[in-house]
Amino acid sequence: MSITLADHGIQQALDQLGVKEINLGTSTGKQWFGTGALIESVSPVDNQLIGKVHETTKEDYEKVVKVASESFKVWRKMPAPQRGEIVRQYGELLRQYKEPLGKLVSYEMGKSLQEGYGEVQEMIDICDFAVGLSRQLHGLTMHSERPNHRMYEQYHPLGVVGIISAFNFPVAVWSWNTALAWVCGDVCIWKPSEKTPLTAVACQHLMTKVLEQNDLPEGISCLINGDYRVGEWMTNDTRVPLISATGSIRMGKIVAQAVAKRLGKSLLELGGNNAIIVTPDADIKMTVIGAVFGAVGTCGQRCTSTRRLIVHEEVYDKVKNALSEAYKQLSIGNPLDERNHVGPLIDKDAVNNYLNAIAQVKEHGGNMVVDGGVLEGEGYDSGCYVKPAIAEAENHWEIVQEETFAPVLYLLKYTGDVENAIAIQNGVKQGLSSAIMTTNLREAEKFLSHAGSDCGIANVNIGTSGAEIGGAFGGEKETGGGRESGSDAWKVYMRRQTNTINYGADLPLAQGIKFDL
């Protein structure tokens, strides 16, 4: 007898979240519509069809942008703390629906149930952050060189913000953007990954409740669905001043060129090729915990996943053996079973990329410390379950230079001092997350110095994966250079304006210029 959605508890979650068997995929917050082709959402857990969503048509898209643009004229006039109150209410709904939404995230994407709940918690956290931020959208006051003048700068909402999110964090990254954009006075149009459309439908249903309860205009939160072509409508649209896109480097380059061509703004969060440096002074127990979670969490499908472990020759064999033993303890299977550490890859294409990476390592003569492969048999019928693998490799190999979105960890050996390890770490084109494991203060400070890690995130004695919302998240080089979430990342969602006020009776010019009439 086959297991049903009800057996998983998914049907109950769908019912609680208002997700149907067939869903309209376009929404302006109060209206739902769509006549486009159907997108099927199939779970990588067991190949079951969860539901279907209508794609957004060009006509649908035009309606969404028009409604959003009109809504912005109202939303921007609301005082920022009042906008923060709306975000607070959304955060409260997320607390109420954390269990069903987290379960749907886990089942639709394939990440462990704990990670699914953690993703919703991340949404709650960013809502809390945004509520506080709504009272701190501050500028600066400067002294003028001219008498009886005052200078200051302030920030104004941009308008319509377009958000393109990826399948691996189907809801959290959207919330990073939209919670901040909302308190800044922007309205948002969200195009989720076509691989995880149902979680987006669920989030939009929750926001619709908030809009209706507060008698707010539709268009503050909008949803569109479809493949890259729907995204292209938005990236080429001059009515959308900011595009925030999360995904591959290849996708990011396409988005960046399209937005730059119209002199728009883009916020790009792209691929990572993240490394942990392990020095002779590292705590090996901590190293193993950080490296294993970083490498296998979300089945290696995080942009911050640990791809490379750069280990000093003195402790190389010790670390390699400890990792091998730790990998033997990994439990791979249905992510809804909390006893399992690793769930499936998102689809068969991801599996093929994983197998190709291992094949290339072997072609180079790399040694498989922990062999990979696709799991078969009962519970693995979807064909998306793979064994996390560890390979001894060289940093210059082409496959090591690329990001493989799968649980393949490359062991790299270094000799000499920590500067050599840092050079290896920085010797890739991506620059997202990095870490060093050491109890040596000098090594840690070198790693964090201007001559150290070239990544947007640099950690000491924690892994590369698992960022808190309080810090700005993003990377350098081909990772895109964008920053989301905490710190002053809010400024990207606003336009800066410098103001000068003359409260005197004369009109002196700057730089002492005389222009007498």
Confidence of residue 2 (pLDDT cuts 50, 70, 90): low
User: Which residues lie closer than 8 Å to 496 by C-beta, 6 or more apart?
Assistant: 139, 153, 154, 155
Q: What is the DSSP string of 31-63?
A: -EE--SPEEEEE-TTT--EEEEEEPPPHHHHHH
Rounded to whole angstroms, how far apart are CA atoms 514 and 508? 8
pLDDT of residue 34: 87
User: Is the separation of the CB atoms in 372 and 142 below 8 Å?
Assistant: no
**Domains of the chain, with CATH numbers?**
5-270+480-496 (3.40.605.10), 274-473 (3.40.309.10)
Rounded to whole angstroms, how far apart are CA atoms 454 and 222? 36
For 49-62, letters b (16+ CB in 10 Å) and e give ebbbbbbbbeebbe
Mean pLDDT of 472-489: 97
Conformational region of residue 215, where left means phi above 0, alpha means psi within -120 to 50, and beta covers everything else: left
Rounded to whole angstroms, how far apart are CA atoms 392 and 412? 6
Among candidates 272, 254, 248, which has minimal Cα distance to 475?
Answer: 272
Does residue 334 carry a pLDDT above 80?
yes
Among candidates 337, 270, 304, 326, which has minimal Cα distance to 110?
Answer: 337
> Which residues are catalytic, by number?
269, 303
Mean pLDDT of 461-484: 96
Mean pLDDT of 394-408: 98
pLDDT of residue 220: 98
> Which tens digit of pLDDT belongs to each residue from 163-205?
999 999 999 999 999 999 999 999 999 999 999 999 999 999 9
pLDDT of residue 7: 85
> Which tens digit of pLDDT belongs to each residue from 105-135?
999 999 999 999 999 999 999 999 999 999 9
pTM above 0.95, yes or no: yes
Does residue 1 carry a pLDDT above 50?
no
Mean pLDDT of 131-150: 96
Which helix (H) or strand (E) element contains residue 22? strand 22-23
Separation of CA 430 from chain center: 15
Rounded to whole angstroms, how far apart are CA atoms 395 and 72? 49
CA distances in angstroms from 455 to 72, 286, 412, 448, 451, listed in the order given = 36, 22, 19, 10, 11
User: Is the separation of the CB atoms in 345 and 44 below 8 Å?
Assistant: yes
> Which tens digit of pLDDT belongs to each residue from 81-93?
999 999 999 999 9
The amino acid at 483: R
Tokens representing 57 are: 């048509």
